[in-house]
Amino acid sequence: MNDFVSLWSYLSTTPLLWLTATIAAYLIAESLAARLGNPP
């Protein structure tokens, strides 16, 4: 758990935080679309 906290504190001070958030949002939306049958 301590490793995760140190990684998060590093990411929160760099633009990588927003890159990570964007990729996470994309992966969540992609999995949701797959569950719904990939509607257009």
pTM to 2 decimal places:
0.58
Q: CB count, 10 Å around CB of 20?
A: 15
* Average pLDDT, integer, range 23-27: 94
Is the pLDDT confidence value at 30 over 90? Answer: yes
Token pair belonging to 30: 């992609």
Is the pLDDT confidence value at 1 over 80? Answer: no
Report the alpha-carbon distance of residue 13 to residue 2 in Å, rounded: 17
Task: Tell me the pLDDT band of 3, cut-offs 50, 70 and 90.
Answer: confident
Q: Write down the pLDDT at residue 35.
A: 94
Q: Write down the pLDDT at residue 9.
A: 80
Segments making up each domain of the chain, as ranges = 2-35
DSSP string, 17-40: HHHHHHHHHHHHHHHHHHHTT---
